[in-house]
Amino acid sequence: MHWLAFVEDDIMMVNGSRSMKKYKKHHLKLTLFGKIFFSFLMIALVAPFTILINTKNQFYEKEENEKYTIEIEYPKLKNENVVKLTKEYIDEKKQEFINEIEGLDNSENFQYDFKTSYEINEDDSQVGVHLTIFEYTGGAHYIREDKSYYYDKAYAQLIDITDFLEEEDSLDKLSNLAYYYVMQYSRDNNLGFDSEMVKLGLGNDPINFEHFKFTDKGLELLFPPYQVASYAAGEVNITVPYDELVGVIKKEYLKNISINDKENQITKRNLKEFSNKKLIAFTFDDGPSFNTNKLLDNLDKYDARVTFFVLGSRVNQYSKTLKKAHEMGNLIASHTYNHKNLFKLDKFQITSEIRDTNDAIKKVIGRDTFYLRPPYGNINSDIKKLANMYTILWDLDTEDWKYKDKMRISNYIVENAHDGAIVLLHDLYETSVDGALDAMERLKKQGYAFVTIEEMALIKNIDLDREKSYHSFSN
């Protein structure tokens, strides 16, 4: 049975063969059966392209049918080792996706979905790739999975966050810093993170810090949904400034920061004037307060500058006073936020007490502080590691809070004064301020100079150690 007839005009026969000289017209003439057959043929040819798309090259792959869509972007990298790792991982996740949806009852006839994306961070020594995979296999939302690889070019091997850390306990320090900045992120964005979930997601395990990169501002950490907060919060990105990472991250990775804190120290005075004098540091805890202003108004009489260990909870209320104290050349330091006993707090609470105060201070005076006086003097090696600051205690305790007696305070200071002494006072009380000023009046006649903790260390050429506690700077 014929289904196709070919009709042509002006055909010329040459040597027993048919040759087409020219056509006035030519056309295909279909029989009825041919028309039916041709229709089915076209459906068979076209239909697969309406429900199936296959696109694949070295870096991009797309497969789409009536059941699912798979769209993959493979990282474009010169490093064959990382290319191989990322491809193997993506292909493995793709196969897991296909295996999973084959066993699902898709009674609602929705389309399953599998998509990937990536971000590359590369420099002369390392290459890092962050992969993100989104899968939809039913339910309220996509499932997200993140995977990062970091590869050391020189040693031709995989590395992780621990290869960038300074010491064995640095991961614990990073964990606490991350907790602080995640909770700050929550407050800034009114997200109300559950602190216990955050703590769990930031435990002392390298896998919790798998996604990171070094930027101009600091160490950027990414936490996917569900690690520190609910899915609705999305991914959480924080940046820990480099000045917070001294002693945590290896020095060669700290950008735009001086490792020597002395270069960050400031003083408005010519310290050479005090090089041959006996030095004493008056320090004031628990402020600022109304009485702080009286102290500030009288310091110039004695060419004195002092150190304020302030409570973070009082900084905003007395911000003008604090700013004035700083601009005069006094040292502003931390006494924690709420004056809690640090021995009774967990490591995350300790970090918050210290970092909240440091942030409050910096917002007012525009400068970081490196100095901490723990409430009640309660300090140990673990707290020092968490604080990563210089611990300043005292050797002359006036007990001014107890007696509130101007002359008793003054007499105690004068009778026990010595070169390098650190005096403990509280500027909450007017009697303490008056007693300090009276002692300065008397000690100045004995050849003493009144300096901040920072000035004392500079004049005596003392390189402070974050692992030590300083009760005085006596020789």
CATH number at residue 234: 3.90.640.20
Same domain assignment for residues 172 and 290: no
Chain segment 224-257, per-residue pLDDT in tens: 999 999 988 999 999 999 988 988 999 999 987 6
> What average pLDDT score do residues 134-162 get?
93
Q: H/E element holding 321? A: helix 319-328
Q: How confident is the model at residue 27 (pLDDT cuts 50, 70, 90)?
A: very low
**Start-to-end Cα distance in the chain:** 117
Same domain assignment for residues 334 and 209: no
121: left (phi over 0), alpha (psi -120 to 50) or beta: beta
Gyration radius (Cα) of the chain, Å: 36
Weakest mean pLDDT among 10-19, 172-181, 197-206, 226-235? 10-19
Same domain assignment for residues 272 and 331: yes
On whether the CB atoms of residues 397 and 390 are closer than 8 A, the answer is no
Please indicate, yes or no, if residue 226 is contained in any of the structural domains: yes
Q: How confident is the model at residue 104 (pLDDT cuts 50, 70, 90)?
A: confident
Chain segment 310-337, per-residue pLDDT in tens: 999 999 999 999 999 999 999 999 999 9
Please indicate, yes or no, if residue 142 is contained in any of the structural domains: yes
Q: How confident is the model at residue 46 (pLDDT cuts 50, 70, 90)?
A: very low
User: Whole-model pTM?
Assistant: 0.73
Same domain assignment for residues 292 and 191: no
Q: Using CA atoms, how far apart are residues 199 and 411, in angstroms rounded to an integer? A: 49
Same domain assignment for residues 153 and 170: no
Give the range of the structural domain holding residue 43, as residue numbers without chain letter. Answer: 4-51
| pLDDT score for 247 | 86
Same domain assignment for residues 303 and 402: yes
Q: How confident is the model at residue 58 (pLDDT cuts 50, 70, 90)?
A: confident
User: For 36-84, what is the HEC assignment?
Assistant: HHHHHHHHHHHHHHHHCEEEECCCEEEEECCCEEEEEECCCCCCHHHHH
Same domain assignment for residues 286 and 384: yes
What total number of domains does the chain contain?
4
Please indicate, yes or no, if residue 475 is contained in any of the structural domains: no
Same domain assignment for residues 249 and 301: no
- Residues labelled as active-site residues: 285, 426
| pLDDT score for 411 | 98
For 324-468, list the strands marked E by DSSP: 331-334, 371-372, 390-392, 396-397, 421-426, 448-450
Last residue of a domain, one of 238, 257, 276: 257
Last residue of a domain, one of 129, 159, 189: 159
